[in-house]
Every structure is written in structure tokens, then in C-alpha cells.
Amino acid sequence: MFPFSFEWIWDMGHVVFMGGLWYALTILGIGMTYCIIKSAIDASRGNDEHHH
């Protein structure tokens, strides 16, 4: 899973597979971080103009 696991090899399989995995995880992580930070800012500003 990580390059420091002893069975890790820098080969095509690992790069493609783990690349895809970390890519997806990064997007999810950044997306959620953005939502949480923006919500905290919105809430602290008392910003309530939108309605869904």
C-alpha cells in the first residue's frame, strides 16, 4: 500500500494500481476538506442567503 512496505516494487502494476487508488483518495480528501473549511467559514460569517 505504501512505498515503505517491504513488498513494494516500483513496477507498472504498483504505479497504475496504487496511482489510481491514491488519486481517488486525494480527490475525496481534498473535496471533503474544502467542504468542511468552507462550511466553517460560512457558518462563522453567519452567511445564510442560500436555500436548497
Binding residues for other proteins, per CB under 8 A? 1, 5, 7, 13-14, 17-18, 20-21, 24-25, 27-28, 31-32, 34-36, 38-40, 42-43, 46-48, 50, 52
Question: Please, what is the minimum distance in Å from the beta carbon of residue 37 to other proteins?
Answer: 9
Question: Please, what is the minimum distance in Å from the beta carbon of residue 22 to other proteins?
Answer: 10
3-state secondary structure at position 24: helix
3-state secondary structure at position 25: helix
State the Cα–Cα distance between residues 31 and 19, nearest whole angstrom: 18
Q: In this structure, are residues 8 and 2 in contact, taking their beta carbons and an 8 Å threshold?
A: yes
Question: Please, what is the minimum distance in Å from the beta carbon of residue 32 to other proteins?
Answer: 7
